[in-house]
Structure 1
């Protein structure tokens, strides 16, 4: 799942994140609801991904988590199971009228992940994968726009483009992690267009004897270009959001684009190595964020 596309420093994540949560750029009054949204998404993600539970146990836990969300929407007292999540979230839902449906969409995406992994399922084409992103990533951006009081159709569409791009970037960054776990987000149509099938991927996963063939490298290159195009569609949103929110989003966009640059620098071989962001990337991200202008939507032109 994607990292939360707006940081807040209230609760330090225990997982690697491309885009840190709770930074000082978020207005102080919005840090509690943003941290509550992050804790909700992070905990649900852990239920779906972490530990040794089987699929049935994970699905049962997510059903219980969904029931807790419904209770929070009614302002009912949280159960003893996840009070650290639903206490703050319930307060945020009351104070900021957070839409329950957007939070529920996130859970439906986690359920889909579990079921597809259990059934060795995949995605037929880009449209199906984007439908997953609509529930796995886009709700986060829409929740944040809700907090900032931005709800026009153009801003929502651009937010969706950025969030879907971030989700795709996470997929192409994590090939070496997801494939050994039985998760394949590469659409079947994209594999076929490069002369590959899902069963071929086992041959060049990490520790496999063979290096990724040119067809696999070309496949990743095409997905990187797709994600970059989608991100650039949403980039004008940074000029629509006021003050700190706009600067926050600049860093999120540039963080995603930087991961794409790193995949490209690896020769598009994210099959063998997972690129990440580190402290050394901060100056470059800051410089690129400063250079984002209304007239310059094409981030590809920035020096790497």
Structure 2
């Protein structure tokens, strides 16, 4: 069954979302040439929605209460879009079309909003279980929505997608250890493990790459690596360009993690991928290993 064509205002709304995505591209597969062409618009709409909510949680000088009120308004607009009654805003016009056209579940969007509310309220995490709970809200919904867009949201695929998305979120935390602390006052390391390894917040504040911090971080790296490996079979199972995109993302995450593990004198700098890394990503994505 062919989907109905886009109305002019809907096409214009998607273009606005694509423009937002192109300005703020990070580690999200927004409008990538690897994505199937028909999915670039809805992916951009999802990104634009998440970008707006993330900016409310992180940017500007609003108080915590004002940020939470603004996120409540985003939630209300989301529910209106899901019901077919959206505000005059291109993000929600595009999102309403994507939700209806692809029958997207609303829960992943609401989980993202819960994560952004948590960013406003919480800056420390008692143990790794709490961090995993945050990743379930902040990272896993993105992969789940992409699977729904591609009609591949089986239980096994969702579980492996969760592992990949959580691993990528953890890797981002480890790249942004210093900036998260300085710019937002947040530490995404388990407080109990920091105490166990003898790491103090002042080590992060002063960018001290101590031996204790190095041991703690390598413990985190190994855990992220296990999660990434647990979800990696999904990249070989998804067909076509979506599988190619996911394999590139997984291998890219693995190369960044490898570069993090090589850093000894400065645990706070973001690793840069070189030409060899990029060739490994392209080669691994295009020529996935066959599994018996």
Q: TM-score, normalised by structure 1?
A: 0.84
Shift of 1:45: 0.9
Shift of 1:266: 1.6
Shift of 1:203: 3.4
- State the distance in 1 between where 2:25 and 2:214 align: 25
What does residue range 100-119 of structure 1 map to in structure 2 within 5 Å?
100-117=106-123
Q: Which residue of 1 aligns with 2:91?
A: 85
| Unaligned 5+ runs, structure 2 | 1-16
Shift of 1:154: 1.1
What does residue range 185-224 of structure 1 map to in structure 2 within 5 Å?
185-196=188-199, 200-205=200-205, 208=206, 211-224=208-221
Q: Which residue of 2 aligns with 1:148?
A: 150
Q: Are positions 1:42 and 2:51 aligned together?
A: yes
For residues 275 and 55 of structure 1, do their structure 2 counterparts lie closer, same or farther at Cα, with a shift above 3 Å needed?
A: farther
Shift of 1:280: 7.4
1:33 to 36, 42, 62: 42
Residue by residue, what CA displacement relative to the aligned partner does 1:146-196 show, whole Å, maximum 9, x if unpaired?
111112211111000000001111111110111112101101122122123
Q: Using CA pairs below 8 Å that are at least 6 residues apart, which structure has the higher relative contact order? A: 1
For residues 202 and 84 of structure 1, do their structure 2 counterparts lie closer, same or farther at Cα, with a shift above 3 Å needed?
A: farther
Q: Which residue of 2 aligns with 1:232?
A: 229
1:264 to 261, 265, 268: 261
Residue by residue, what CA displacement relative to the aligned partner does 1:256-291 show, whole Å, maximum 9, x if unpaired?
1121122122228433x1224577743231123245
2:279 to 274, 278, 283: 283
For residues 159 and 123 of structure 1, do their structure 2 counterparts lie closer, same or farther at Cα, with a shift above 3 Å needed?
A: same
Shift of 1:100: 1.0
Please state whether the residue corresponding to 1:78 is helix, strand or coil: coil
| Unaligned 5+ runs, structure 1 | 1-8, 297-304
Please state whether the residue corresponding to 1:160 is helix, strand or coil: helix
For residues 74 and 242 of structure 1, do their structure 2 counterparts lie closer, same or farther at Cα, with a shift above 3 Å needed?
A: same
Q: Are positions 1:69 and 2:75 aligned together?
A: no
Please state whether the residue corresponding to 1:150 is helix, strand or coil: coil
Aligned residues: 274
- State the distance in 1 between where 2:233 and 2:46 align: 24
Q: Which residue of 2 aligns with 1:168?
A: 170
Q: TM-score, normalised by structure 2?
A: 0.87
Q: Give the helix-richer structure, 1 or 2.
A: 2
For residues 243 and 225 of structure 1, do their structure 2 counterparts lie closer, same or farther at Cα, with a shift above 3 Å needed?
A: same
Q: Which residue of 2 aligns with 1:293?
A: 289
- State the distance in 1 between where 2:180 and 2:247 align: 28
- State the distance in 2 between where 1:218 and 1:291 align: 35
